Structure 1
Amino acid sequence: MANPAPFTRYSQQRKIDPTQGDRLADGLLNDDDRIEIGPTQLAYKEWEQAGLILPDLLAMREYRWRRLTQHIVDRGYGGLLLFDPLNIRYATDSTNMQLWNTHNPFRAVLLCADGYMVIWDYKNSPFLSEFNPLVK
């Protein structure tokens, strides 16, 4: 009778597969931290089976940033101040905090005509947008 495989605790299992390279198909780091968007490995497999092509998130963020900046310049404004959670999500690709923001608005984004973008967010929650190099 063969011995069953020893029990492996979750904490001892690899969470990051080093054979996948340093970037995923969508251009983000292969750190198994999908707070940016959230698809799981199951979703990636289903999309691949369906023949769907993954978006390049870095290019998408760059496109949105350039588009917004160009509209600011075209109108002769010094900048754009965003308070609406959906506008913040579009401009920064940061985590959607609509529900948290419903009662007490706490987030804002300033996009200057020179392209400099800053987000005001929870003091102890830099993970909400630190993954995006366009946000300072």
Structure 2
Amino acid sequence: MQHRYAFECLDRSLRDIMKTLNPDNFNKPFGGITVLLGGDFRQILPVINMGGRADIVAACITRSRIWKEAIIFILKQNMRLNQGQNAEEKENLRKFAEWVLQIGDGKLSPPTDELSVVDEDSIMIPADFVIQKLKTLLKI
């Protein structure tokens, strides 16, 4: 994900360029050109060298003045769920996708066992989601 300043710079540039065609374009986002952004803003954050949580959040497009003018479309069907070879694989993919959404929505509670380092960012990965070779190495 790009820093919000990159989008704001593109917005200003397109407004300046497109106003030569029509002066009203200067008052439209991106000079009246439709711009499509894709991704999951909960999972793909901008990289800020040596930045803390506040710096990263401040760099997100959702903190930009442009975001107020955005129209958000939400995809309803996860296309990766259709890639399973059989019903069992599709069900496993569905469970994994649901778990990832729970993480993104902040609905998973941190682990509570004594062996885990518990802080606000800790999560417990179900053993079903761990790759088999890693299970052997980690003795899960």
TM range (shorter): under 0.3
With normalisation by structure 1, the TM-score equals: 0.23
Q: Flag the structure with higher strand content.
A: 1
Return the TM-score normalized by structure 2. Answer: 0.23
Structure 1 or 2, whichever has the larger Rg, is: 2
Query: Higher helix proportion, which one?
Result: 2
| Structure having greater relative contact order (Cα 8 Å, sep ≥ 6) | 1
